[in-house]
């Protein structure tokens, strides 16, 4: 478990410190775009103070950052009067050869559902990633993060394979939230949830360390590996009311 913890922590810190070498402020379509650059990568904030960050290798991505209402009216992504909020054509990502490049779009979504969308040269949608922060690597790997349409700041890894964007499986998702329980909860010895280990009482402190990936029919992660204030490890399974913050402050479902 210690090795797994170190690996997941490495992934979480790999991207989400934006760097600090150089800062620029760009204006495009009446929006301020904050840019952080280094010798090999840049990080740009999509909209001033939005908290949406896009990190990319400077030699592999051409930044466009153009709102949909300023595109050519013949463009498939043109939107003369955005109903909710602007979609942005963020940039063009060069692939490893002439056939693997794609265009990247960002959409805030109709109800605070931010996502990055990947479209190939034939305007075929390769996939989308819901995230507040996205990082592209030159090897076609993608890292994402964000507490959006999930229970915690979910860090994921993807790869571009042929004509689709595929999530790379993890045994756990890192959570890393500590707090005081707002209700009693049963703790189990393993992830079969057959044998009760103990009951952790309201008012006790726990750390939610990792989440088990949700099953296909689950809208969010329900099973978690936790540590008590005495250092005992075990598994918990959350209830529907916990999505409203019923288990612990700061642990809730962000989204519709």
pLDDT tens for 16-58 read 334 434 444 433 333 444 455 555 899 999 877 889 999 999 9
Q: Would you say residue 7 has pLDDT above 80?
A: no
Same domain, residue pair 81 and 182: no
Predicted pLDDT of residue 13: 36
**What's the whole-number mean pLDDT along residues 186-190?**
98
The Cα–Cα gap between 188 and 198 comes to: 7
Predicted pLDDT of residue 82: 59
pLDDT tens for 63-107 read 998 888 888 888 888 887 655 567 888 999 986 665 568 999 999
Structure token digits, residue 218: 């689950």
Same domain, residue pair 209 and 103: no
Helix (H, G, I), strand (E, B) or coil at 88: strand
Same domain, residue pair 87 and 12: yes
Select from 42, 22, 139 the least CA-distant residue to 90: 42
Same domain, residue pair 18 and 110: yes
The structure tokens 């590996």 sit at: 225
The Cα–Cα gap between 29 and 246 comes to: 42
Please spell the DSSP secondary structure of 180-230, one letter per residue: EBSS-EEEESSTT--SEEEEEPTT-EEEEEEEPPPPTT-SS--EEEEEETT
């Amino acid at each position: 478990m210690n090795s797994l913890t170190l690996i997941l922590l490495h992934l979480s810190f790999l991207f989400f410190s934006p760097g600090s070498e150089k800062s620029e402020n760009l204006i495009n379509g009446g929006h301020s775009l904050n840019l952080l650059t280094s010798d090999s990568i840049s990080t740009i904030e999509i909209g001033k103070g939005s908290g949406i960050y896009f990190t990319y290798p400077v030699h592999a991505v051409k930044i466009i950052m153009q709102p949909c209402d300023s595109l050519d009216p013949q463009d498939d992504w043109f939107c003369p009067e955005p109903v909710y909020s602007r979609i942005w054509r963020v940039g063009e990502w060069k692939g490893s050869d002439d056939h693997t490049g794609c265009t990247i779009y960002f959409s805030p979504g109709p109800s605070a559902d931010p996502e990055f969308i990947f479209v190939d040269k034939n305007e075929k949608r390769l996939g989308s990633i819901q995230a507040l922060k996205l990082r592209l690597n030159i090897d076609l790997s993608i890292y994402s993060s964000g507490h959006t349409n999930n229970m915690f700041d979910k860090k994921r890894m993807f790869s571009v394979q042929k004509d689709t964007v595929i999530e790379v499986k993890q045994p756990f998702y890192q959570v890393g939230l500590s707090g005081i329980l707002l209700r009693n909860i049963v703790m189990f010895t393993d992830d079969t949830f057959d044998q009760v280990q103990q009951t952790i009482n309201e008012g006790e402190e726990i750390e939610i360390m990792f989440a088990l990936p949700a099953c296909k029919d689950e809208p969010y992660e329900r099973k978690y590996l936790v540590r008590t204030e005495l250092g005992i490890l075990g598994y918990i399974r959350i209830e529907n009311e916990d999505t409203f913050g019923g288990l612990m402050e700061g642990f809730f479902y962000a989204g519709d």
